[in-house]
Amino acid sequence: MKIGFVGVGIMGRPMAGHLRADGHELLLVRHRSPLPADLLEAGASVRDSAAEVARDADVVILMLPDTPDVEDALFGADGVAAGLSGGKLVIDMSSIDPIATRGFAERIQALDCDYVDAPVSGGEVGARAASLTIMVGGSDAAFARAQPLLALMGKNITHIGAAGAGQITKVANQIIVALNIEAVAEALVFAAKAGADPAKVRAALMGGFAASRVLEVHGERMVKRTFDPGFRIALHQKDLGLALSGAKALGLSLPSTASTQQLFSACVAQGDGDRDHSAMVKALELLAGITL
Amino acid sequence: MKIGFVGVGIMGRPMAGHLRADGHELLLVRHRSPLPADLLEAGASVRDSAAEVARDADVVILMLPDTPDVEDALFGADGVAAGLSGGKLVIDMSSIDPIATRGFAERIQALDCDYVDAPVSGGEVGARAASLTIMVGGSDAAFARAQPLLALMGKNITHIGAAGAGQITKVANQIIVALNIEAVAEALVFAAKAGADPAKVRAALMGGFAASRVLEVHGERMVKRTFDPGFRIALHQKDLGLALSGAKALGLSLPSTASTQQLFSACVAQGDGDRDHSAMVKALELLAGITL
């Protein structure tokens, strides 16, 4: 199949590589910065614009940083929409605004094309290992078309509902992960300040109702002080921004998401925006006057 | 061994039963309300005060609701301390204030007795099944004495550190569980309000970094609307109260613990204080104008 891939950065590059390795033709958009040499060596061809990629490909996949990037790639001058013809499939694997996504899906469907939103979790490690968790929104027919390609990039692939439902699920994921990090951070800072060994406290809690992937993975990073990303605080801040702007637009209250976002802001203020999100504990340590 | 058991309520009664079933002698304090018939039928003997129980027992175990109850049972008129003689062991399995616990331990140790704090998690189900998680503070020697008795009531038994460390760990556990419940509640209410099926969102998140025992157990209760306790909101509110008063006394900031406590207060205001703590989601639903 001819697959256009827009956004071959840290995540997109290995994801596109898996598609190519399976024998698909890969079409990339020419950039000011050089395209990844491994993809070019593997035979990816290059077009001058997203519109040309969309014209020549059967499927266009996007993996971009944020909502405006996706909007521009889809609907900007020489964007994907300008090159689409009926029957093609657009898969947005970026993590962006669920409400904006519904609008993007409608505009692509108006061109007689299919649209699925398929944001991922699992980070660079998951992208390289083709083990991403993928949360999908779109019609049953669109999901059925996308599924074999998604299966080349990830493992847990769940069709949640109509267009936008993938992005909604990704936001829900990011809310839980951020608040679970804060939960573990508050608990370990409390324990340390009260005079208990946070490593022993963490180990004791792993067997009970406090058990979580975050206690396991991020709790260990806090105790061992390994804050190399992982997943950057600045990116998680973007994701909680989607949750909070979505909450405002939809009319609901997310009190802990809001306060956790403020702690991420404190981390950015301390110069820790590029550290792993488990470094949130440093903001609480600062307020407590201790280090774990 | 002769074991005095002070506090044979919902938790204490089955715990004391396991000790008796293993062949230990059981000494209880006479109450205004009748003592559990099953323990009396199993041969437990009764004394008129905690002091008399302490005088006649080798070990005294306490399982009481809150810090003042433990203080009164230990140091009130005709309390445990009044009956203790050198060499005995006091085990407080209640969930109470870690800082007060240090003071209680010092006062008991001044009587030439051992003291361990050994709060539990696992609830009534764990108490009945002798599968409680037990977090222990105390000297190595005191822990070694208590361990064989604790093993009759629980499974994951961890010696965390000096006296108070068990209570510190229990507070840390309750912080994480409460904040993880809020995390799942905010995520599912967001998803539902945005138009996705919360049951599908929950299922999709179980495989990734958002995975937790709370997403598994309490998330299911939220989706299925089964709010029978479980663990009562009013009790969890007491435990977060220990975290927040401890934080104030120790000098640290627990911003999400504080705001989650406020949500529990909203639940109590709505008449839900006796529901399972997963019913926290109802307060967020109220603010969002929806039900999952």
CA angle A60, A61, A66 (to 5 degrees): 125
Distance from CA of B153 to the nearest CA of A (A): 15
Instruction: Output the pLDDT for position B208.
Output: 87
Instruction: From chain A, pick out residues whose CB is under 8 angstroms from the CB of B281.
Output: none
Q: What is the DSSP letter of B171?
A: H
Instruction: Output the pLDDT for position A122.
Output: 87
Instruction: Tell me the pLDDT tens digit for each residue of B252-281.
Output: 999 999 999 999 999 999 999 999 999 999
Distance from CA of A251 to the nearest CA of B (A): 6
- B248 catalytic? Reply is no
Residues B137 and B133: their CA atoms lie apart, in Å, by 14
Query: Predicted confidence band at B97 (pLDDT cuts at 50, 70, 90)?
Result: very high
Report whether pLDDT(A176) > 90: yes
Residues B102 and B116: their CA atoms lie apart, in Å, by 10
Do A63 and A94 touch, CB atoms closer than 8 A? yes
- B249 in A contact zone (CB under 8 Å): no
Report whether pLDDT(A123) > 90: no
Are B250 and A164 within 8 A, CB to CB? no
Q: Name the burial class of residue B290, with classes exposed (0-12), middle (13-18) and buried (19+) by CB atoms within 10 angstroms of its CB.
A: middle
Instruction: Tell me the pLDDT tens digit for each residue of A239-279.
Output: 999 999 999 999 999 999 999 999 999 999 999 999 999 99
Instruction: From chain B, pick out residues whose CB is under 8 angstroms from the CB of A287.
Output: 252-253
The pTM (predicted TM-score) of the whole model is 0.94
Mutate to test the interface with B, among A101, A171, A175, A206 (most CBs of B within 10 A): A175
Least-confidence region, from A163-172, B16-25, B121-130:
B121-130
The helix/strand/coil state of B61 is strand
Instruction: Output the pLDDT for position A74.
Output: 98
* Tokens describing residue A121: 């979790």
When pLDDT is averaged across residues B214-231 and rounded to a whole number, the result is: 95
Phi, then psi, of B178 in degrees rounded to 5: -65, -45
List the single residue in B184, B204, B263 with the smallest CB-CB distance to A160.
B204
Report whether pLDDT(A32) > 90: no
Query: Predicted confidence band at B48 (pLDDT cuts at 50, 70, 90)?
Result: very high
Instruction: Output the pLDDT for position B248.
Output: 96
Are B209 and A173 within 8 A, CB to CB? yes
Report whether pLDDT(B181) > 90: yes
Instruction: Tell me the pLDDT tens digit for each residue of A280-291.
Output: 999 999 999 999
Instruction: Report B:270-289 residues touching A (Cβ under 8 A).
Output: 284, 287-289
Nearest residue on chain B to A132, alpha-carbon basis: B208
Instruction: Output the pLDDT for position A225.
Output: 97
Residue of B2, B88, B155, B170 with catalytic role? B170
When pLDDT is averaged across residues A236-241 and rounded to a whole number, the result is: 96
Cβ atoms within 10 Å of B77's Cβ, excluding its own: 9
- B122 in A contact zone (CB under 8 Å): yes
- A30 in B contact zone (CB under 8 Å): no
Residues B254 and A186: their CA atoms lie apart, in Å, by 6
- Sign of the CA dihedral with A177 first, then A178, A181, and A186 last: negative
**CA-wise closest residue to B91 among B123, B55, B119, B127:** B119
Residue of A2, A88, A155, A170 with catalytic role? A170
The helix/strand/coil state of A259 is helix
Report the run of H or E that residue B156 belongs to, with start and end: strand B154-161
Instruction: Output the pLDDT for position A230.
Output: 84
- Proportion of chain A above pLDDT 90, given as a percent: 96
Instruction: From chain B, pick out residues whose CB is under 8 angstroms from the CB of A209.
Output: 121, 173, 177, 213-214, 217
The helix/strand/coil state of B60 is strand
Instruction: Output the pLDDT for position B87.
Output: 97
Are B176 and A212 within 8 A, CB to CB? yes
Instruction: Output the pLDDT for position B32.
Output: 85
**CA-wise closest residue to B172 among B218, B239, B260:** B239
Nearest residue on chain B to A138, alpha-carbon basis: B196
Least-confidence region, from A5-9, A94-98, A228-232:
A228-232
Report whether pLDDT(B33) > 90: no
Query: Predicted confidence band at A33 (pLDDT cuts at 50, 70, 90)?
Result: confident
Residues B123 and A78: their CA atoms lie apart, in Å, by 62
Nearest residue on chain B to A281, alpha-carbon basis: B254
Question: Does residue B230 have a cis bond before it (omega within 30 degrees)?
Answer: yes
List the single residue in B137, B175, B194 with the smallest CB-CB distance to A168.
B194
Are A160 and B196 within 8 A, CB to CB? yes
Are A183 and B179 within 8 A, CB to CB? yes
Phi, then psi, of B29 in degrees rounded to 5: -95, 130
Distance from CA of A43 to the nearest CA of B (A): 33
Phi, then psi, of B242 in degrees rounded to 5: -65, -40
Query: Predicted confidence band at B212 (pLDDT cuts at 50, 70, 90)?
Result: very high
Do B54 and B89 touch, CB atoms closer than 8 A? no
- Sign of the CA dihedral with A4 first, then A8, A11, and A15 last: positive
Distance from CA of B193 to the nearest CA of A (A): 7
Instruction: Tell me the pLDDT tens digit for each residue of B104-115.
Output: 999 999 999 999
Query: Predicted confidence band at A204 (pLDDT cuts at 50, 70, 90)?
Result: very high
Instruction: Output the pLDDT for position A187.
Output: 98
